[in-house]
Amino acid sequence: MRQGENPSKKDFKIKIETTHRIIISVYIPNLQDEYFKNSSEIFCMCLDSVLATIHSKTRVSIILNGCCNEVNQLVYSYQADYPHLIDQVFYTQNNLGKINAIYSIVKSNLETLLTITDADVMFLPNWQSEVEKIFVTFPEAGMVSPVPSSKGFLYSTASTLYYGLFKGKIKFRPVVDPEGLINFQESVGSNLYQKIHLEKYLVVENNGNEAVVGCGHFVGTFRREVFEHSPTKVCQFRVQGGSEEAYLDDPNDLSGRLRLATLGNFAFHLGNTPKDWMRDTLAKTKLESFPKPEIILPPSKSLAKWQVKIGRVLFILLFYKFRKQFFKTLGIHEPY
């Protein structure tokens, strides 16, 4: 038999003071296999860099997605040391898959901005302010990464292309930080970029401010409204299988929002092998000091459905079928 009245019934409206949530899904099943043997150190670099660079209106969620006991205990020790920042730790014994783990957090928090990151990303000073500035400058932005990519325009950017052509300006400009592109290329062990990609990337402009068109999805900040357009079914894949495109990239594009990146490089993809330069960079990052947030985000905007449809047609024509001709009009006269 119940006695008294549940106090939540008197104050039933959820109120939060935070504006930004960092979501990290961790899958380290053991520390013995070749692939995972250094993953604990890499993950610590990721988490240390997050804690050193976020502002006071930010909270961190960590999903232990089928991790070994050593990693579980490591996360709980971090939470004990930073209880005011790491306010959520979710545990699952089995690997639920990256998307399902992420969505368990996405669908249960109210922050305006949600940064979804892999556990092998090192965040650099000022990444958060640079990302948030883009959301201020481009109210239509739905996904912004602190890591630009010269080839990011090729994926789920139909709405961004429409915006660039008809609502703003689209052009090529010199790459601000080619070293950042080279670092990412090396971290994935692939030759992604040609010489031209290290020299120029495609940007859109609004009121004199620029952002790179497109981005990858190993780290990105989303407007929470994006996920109102996401699939309702549980994802059937642990990784790949088009899962990140279907559950992260496409909802943003189909909702009529822009997919952008910062001009400069404000995070590193580390891979699974620690290097001395990573340790040195983290040490320098920890010495930085960061002001309290002053950015007030404008209400989220989006393109109309008919504009998105036109953008999808233009995306196929200008970025694939007639890319060479289109890019010539933008001053690029070699294969891109």
Q: Which residues make Cβ contacts (< 8 Å) with residue 151, sequence separation at least 6?
A: 192, 193, 197, 214
Residue 114 lies in domain: 17-329
Q: What is the pLDDT of residue 11?
A: 60
Closest by alpha carbon to 22, among 109, 105, 115? 115
Q: Decide if 10 is inside a domain.
A: no
Highest mean pLDDT among 7-11, 94-98, 291-295: 94-98
Q: Decide if 7 is inside a domain.
A: no
Q: What is the CATH number of the domain that holds 68?
A: 3.90.550.10
DSSP string of 179-212, one letter each residue: HHHHHHHHHTTS----GGGGTEEEEEEETTEEEE
Three-state SS for 102? helix
Q: What is the pLDDT of residue 10?
A: 62
Q: Decide if 122 is inside a domain.
A: yes
Q: What is the pLDDT of residue 242?
A: 74
Q: Are 157 and 315 in contact (CB under 8 A)?
A: yes
Taking only the tens place, the pLDDT of each residue in 197-225 is 999 999 999 989 999 999 988 999 999 99
Q: What is the pLDDT of residue 184?
A: 84
Q: Does the pLDDT at position 66 exceed 60?
A: yes
pLDDT tier for residue 238 given thresholds of 50, 70 and 90? low
Q: Decide if 4 is inside a domain.
A: no
For residues 48-76, give the mean pLDDT. 96
- Which has more pLDDT, 173 or 14? 173
Q: Are 227 and 246 in contact (CB under 8 A)?
A: no
Backbone phi, psi, residue 293, to 5°: -65, 140
Calpha distance 231→221 (Å, rounded): 19
Which helix (DSSP H) or strand (DSSP E) does residue 43 occupy? helix 39-53
**Separation in Å, CA 251 to CA 142, 223, 229, 257:** 9, 11, 5, 9
Structural domain total, the chain = 1
Q: Decide if 156 is inside a domain.
A: yes
Three-state SS for 169? strand
Q: Decide if 9 is inside a domain.
A: no
Q: Decide if 76 is inside a domain.
A: yes
Reported as half-sphere exposure (CB side, CA atoms, 13 A), residue 99 has a value of 22
Q: Decide if 21 is inside a domain.
A: yes
pLDDT tier for residue 2 given thresholds of 50, 70 and 90? low
pLDDT tier for residue 1 given thresholds of 50, 70 and 90? low
34-43, 53-62, 254-263, 290-299: least confident range:
290-299
Q: What is the pLDDT of residue 186?
A: 83
Q: What is the pLDDT of residue 189?
A: 67
